[in-house]
Amino acid sequence: MQAEKVSVIIAVYNCEEHIEECVESIISQTYGNIELILVDDGSTDMSGMICGEFAACHEWITCIHGENEGLSAARNKGLDEACGEYVIFMDADDHAEPDMVKTAVEKIAKTGADACIWGYYADFVDNAGHKIKTIEHHCMEGLYAGPGLGDIAGTGGATSFLGYAWNKIYKRGLIEQGGHRFEKGLSLIEDIVFNSQVLSQCKGICFIDRLFTHYMQRPAQSLGKKFHEGHFRLMQRASGSIRTLYEAWGSDTAAVNEIVGRVSFGYLKSSLISLQLSELGMKRKKQLLDEFIGSPTGRELLRSGGPGSLADRAVSLMLECGLTGLVLLAYGARVRRSSQPGCSENGEYIKKSAIRLKLFARYMLSPGKGEFPGARPGVKKIVVALAADYGNLGDAAITVAQSKYLEKRFHGYSIVDFPISATFTGMKRLRKSLSKEDIITLTGGGNTGDRYDDIEYCRQFIIKRFRKNAIFSFPQTVEFSRTPSGARALARAVKVYSGHRELVLSARDRKSYEEYRRSFKDNECVLAPDAALLLEAGVKAYERSGILMCMRNDGEKKISAESEHELFRRLSGVCETKMIDTHIDRRGMTPLQREEELEKLLDEIKKARLVVTDRLHGMIICAVAKTPCIALDNGNRKISGFYECWLKGLGFIDMMYTANVDETARRASVLAKMDTASLAPPGFTEEFEVIGKMMDGLMNNRKHIGGGMPWKHVKAVAGKNE
């Protein structure tokens, strides 16, 4: 006899960093009859692509794409699609223990209950995504049925488990018979309102003293912490829903009043924290709090006797006395303390500060006399700053392509190679060798942000010391983490970038472009391909053989070591497979050595029948070499973002959004047989010309006006020359 089907519904919106772990936790369930319904609620990141790939690889997974209508509407779409006997909801950034579904189904079938509730882990992670602590939330094992449902009010902590939709299994028939759906347009409290309606119709509810759901608590502000001006009203509606639920169960009135009072005051404290985290001014914050405390609902709350601790009673007393400003100041101090960096972050900050002090000392002690190599006097110059003289051949490819483009596009200019290793020791001589008409270009790459903040520090150091020169930053991936340290890094970058009147930014993917436009409003920005796509593969042809796996081994790596090993084994069954990397152990490379090492890599890729890689420039060089490639997405979705923007139309480049070994091996067996002889080389010169025109504008501004002009006028000059 086949086990009853369980419908697991996951609403997904812009959760590309976490949705894969969530879905994999359902794929790993020990229960055998599951339908997984992924509802992509109009995501603007790679979430929809990831969900679609899961659905393509597993026939029991369905992906529904739609416009952004909110969490409630997305879950309702999942309910409309569901056909299981039971329903489980999950949040897209959480994950589950492997025996969650099996144990829940067995328990609800054994007890005859209409719903089953379990405990959960609250997992707190740091800015790097590492778990720093876990709090276990256990519930009391038991079955409550008929008149006994009223006894739930006497189980102490049971209320804390009733408000969520993601720690329960429901009989779908109960939901459909009552016509229950999540209230569209409602945020923050949609779960408790839904549960108040559904659980009040249950004839029996069972609790399992097992922890199945990992409720992830991340440093970035979650939806539940955001504040809008109806926040207090929503929290009180949530309290009313809890009262309605207990009253429907026939719980003791005194017990219900005590529970609702305590919960309501907890909601009030949550609202105060969210209010202080908001961007509203103090005057508006105080006005909103005064309005609530002066309302009948607010006065009833303060009379309810909900506060238990001494601190809570003090807050309640201050609010009764109208000292709302003092309460806001107290919660403001609490918010500031909670947002301070921890010991490990402070230690990292001190370490980085010491390194930067040392680098600045190198700058101060460096010689200022003499010309910088290649910066000939009396010649117009374009500087390629942050030039890669280290062993990252992806960055080397950008530097080589950028230099060749500038040399070819801007006749009459001398191209000056300013390696990143000379940023502090050669800065004085370079500044002395340049006139204000010379142009500074910053090499492109994936290092704008706080992940590679050593390079970002060098970039800002250059920007601050060339304020009289126009600066063009070649296409970058922008990644400031959604953490307190990431926010501080972004604020520093905005301050430095906006302080330069002729700094133009360019992004190599849509997400980075939008980040530039949103955060760096004082700087003009454009969208353009990575410069490495301008490389030429040469005319020399090779007979292709074998598969190359070009894999990274750093913080951006996403595929596990076990999966990578298994993929290598599977690919070796297709044909001979070899591991390579775009990182080599070289430092202080000259421009000639840089080109030689890049040529070696390009030749090796040209000889391969197929390349499987999780390196962006592994994929880009395959595009240049017309070598079939399967790109595995990395942790920050840098590869898929670039692929979607520029390479999706190339039939010999395939994108894997998830780390699915079976599907990757299947696609590899097909692509490895592709005939590449008739493939035309991809051309991106036209797409890249947006940079040339912007630089024309900068140069004309310098030539005709004398430099230092605000960018809106520079744009006008550029427009006249199109």
- DSSP string of 564-597, one letter each residue: HHHHHHHHHTTS-EEEE-SEEEEES--HHHHHHH
- Three-class DSSP category at 539: coil
- Three-class DSSP category at 179: coil
Q: Helix 343-365 to helix 453-465 angle, to the nearest 10 degrees?
A: 40
Amino acid, single-letter form, for residue 626? K
**What letter would DSSP give residue 501?**
T
Rounded to whole angstroms, the Cα distance separating 681 from 185 reads 49
Rounded to whole angstroms, the Cα distance separating 82 from 8 reads 8
What is the model's pLDDT at position 221?
A: 41
Rounded to whole angstroms, the Cα distance separating 466 from 475 reads 20
Do residues 132 and 126 lie in contact, with contact meaning Cβ atoms separated by under 8 Å? Answer: yes
Rounded to whole angstroms, the Cα distance separating 197 from 174 reads 11
Is 701's pLDDT higher than 80? no
Give the number of residues written for the chain.
722
Q: What is the four-CA torsion angle of 302, 306, 308, 310, rounded to 10 degrees?
A: -10
Is 333's pLDDT higher than 70? no
Tokens representing 194?
A: 């839904």
- Three-class DSSP category at 401: helix
Tokens representing 464?
A: 């601050």
Pick from 369-373, 395-399, 420-424: least confident: 369-373
Query: 615: which residues sit within 8 A by CB, 6+ positions away?
Result: 394, 550, 551, 552, 581, 582, 634, 639
Burial grade of 377 (CB within 10 A; 0-12, 13-18, 19 or more): exposed
Do residues 9 and 87 lie in contact, with contact meaning Cβ atoms separated by under 8 Å? Answer: yes
10-38 pLDDT, tens digit each: 999 999 989 999 999 999 999 999 999 99
Q: How confident is the model at residue 709 (pLDDT cuts 50, 70, 90)?
A: very low
Residue 108, sorted as left (phi over 0), alpha (psi -120 to 50) or beta, turns out to be: alpha
Please report where in the chains the tokens 């890689």 appear, as a residue: 613
Amino acid, single-letter form, for residue 256? V
Do residues 690 and 526 lie in contact, with contact meaning Cβ atoms separated by under 8 Å? Answer: yes
Do residues 523 and 505 lie in contact, with contact meaning Cβ atoms separated by under 8 Å? Answer: yes
Is 607's pLDDT higher than 80? yes
Please report where in the chains the tokens 């999966």 appear, as a residue: 563
Burial grade of 125 (CB within 10 A; 0-12, 13-18, 19 or more): middle
What is the model's pLDDT at position 265?
A: 79
Query: 62: which residues sit within 8 A by CB, 6+ positions away?
Result: 35, 36, 37, 38, 55, 81
Comparing CA positions, the residue from 254, 633, 184 lying closest to residue 618 is 633
Q: How confident is the model at residue 128 (pLDDT cuts 50, 70, 90)?
A: low
Comparing CA positions, the residue from 161, 149, 181 lying closest to residue 75 is 181
453-488 pLDDT, tens digit each: 899 999 999 999 999 999 999 999 999 987 778 888
Is 687's pLDDT higher than 60? yes
Strand partners of residue 208 = 118
- DSSP states of 633-675 as a string? P-TT-HHHHHIIIIITT-TTEEEESS--HHHHHHHHHHHTT--
Rounded to whole angstroms, the Cα distance separating 99 from 96 reads 8
Q: Compute the mean pLDDT over every residue in the chain, rounded to the nearest whole number.
A: 87
Comparing CA positions, the residue from 418, 433, 431, 442 lying closest to residue 591 is 418
Comparing CA positions, the residue from 175, 180, 162 lying closest to residue 116 is 162
Comparing CA positions, the residue from 83, 65, 87 lying closest to residue 11 is 65
**What letter would DSSP give residue 182?**
P
Is 225's pLDDT higher than 80? no
Q: Is the pTM of this model over 0.75?
A: yes
What is the model's pLDDT at position 703?
A: 55
Please report where in the chains the tokens 């319904």 appear, as a residue: 37
CA atoms within 13 A on the CB side of 316: 20
Angle at 237 between CA 104 and CA 295, to 5 degrees: 155
- Span 535-543, mean pLDDT? 76
In 439-525, where does DSSP find H-type helix? 453-465, 484-498, 510-519
Is 106's pLDDT higher than 90? yes
293-332 pLDDT, tens digit each: 888 877 877 776 555 667 777 778 888 888 888 888 777 6
Do residues 531 and 444 lie in contact, with contact meaning Cβ atoms separated by under 8 Å? Answer: yes
Query: 290: which residues sit within 8 A by CB, 6+ positions away?
Result: 322, 324
- DSSP states of 262-330 as a string? HHHHHHHHHHHHHHHHSS--HHHHHHHHHHHHTSHHHHHHHHTT---SHHHHHHHHHHHTT-HHHHHHH
Rounded to whole angstroms, the Cα distance separating 487 from 353 reads 17
Rounded to whole angstroms, the Cα distance separating 636 from 16 reads 8
Percent of the chain exceeding pLDDT 90 equals: 59
Rounded to whole angstroms, the Cα distance separating 221 from 22 reads 19
Q: Which of 251-255, 663-667, 718-722 has the highest mean predicted lDDT (pLDDT)?
A: 663-667
Strand partners of residue 441 = 384, 472
Do residues 440 and 462 lie in contact, with contact meaning Cβ atoms separated by under 8 Å? Answer: yes
Q: Helix 296-303 to helix 282-293 angle, to the nearest 10 degrees?
A: 70
Comparing CA positions, the residue from 167, 212, 218, 176 lying closest to residue 197 is 176
CA atoms within 13 A on the CB side of 669: 10
What is the model's pLDDT at position 96?
A: 96
- Span 597-605, mean pLDDT? 94
Pairing status of strand 577-580 against strand 547-550: parallel
Pick from 83-87, 299-303, 516-520, 543-547: least confident: 299-303
